[in-house]
Amino acid sequence: MAEEHKKVSTVAVYPGTFDPVTYGHLNLICRGAKLFAKLIVGVARGGMKETLFTLEERVEMIQHAIKDIPNVKVESFDGLTVDFVRRKGGNILLRGIRTVTDFEYEYQIALSNRSMAKDIETIFVIPGEEFSFISSSIVKDIVSAGGDGSAFVPQEVNEKMRAKLAPRRNR
């Protein structure tokens, strides 16, 4: 097994739609910032997913939430994640896994990415247990039903969700 050994990049990308960013996402961002010299949060346009927030709104909400973490940058992207990682000079994808279902999905994505880009590694991180049940979809469901999402997302994000989802509740 005489493979060439390259030094691992200190630039990692944490991609996602972040619609909206949750405390679970922020937990992974903070942990990734400790692991890598530079962490880029790649906010995906959404592809097949219909998003509640525009791409610009999602980028802005994350930037506001991580403003005190100097080695984290937030950028939007469209297209293949592996292409974005390469454009940013990284070779690490940071992904969070909460459940076995997440693992099965993320495993398939990691293998697909590896088949397209053998030079990019995926690193899975398990969020803190207090964040293991939080998902953007669940938070949107709570807020759209009139509940308070502030235990799951930053207050600013909660207020923006309530403003966007209130008209839907009042139909």
Catalytic residue among 5, 6, 7, 49: 49
Catalytic residue among 9, 31, 58, 136: 136
Catalytic residue among 9, 25, 31, 160: 25
Gap between the Cα atoms of 41 and 32, Å rounded: 10
Cα torsion 76, 80, 84, 90 to 10°: value is 130
DSSP 52: S
Contact of 20 with 163, CB cutoff 8 Å:
no
Burial class (CB in 10 A: 0-12, 13-18, 19+), 21: buried
137 is annotated as an active-site residue: no
Catalytic residue among 45, 73, 86, 98: 98
136 is annotated as an active-site residue: yes
In whole angstroms, how far apart are CA 36 and each of 50, 57, 135? 31, 26, 24
The residues assigned a catalytic role are: 25, 49, 98, 136
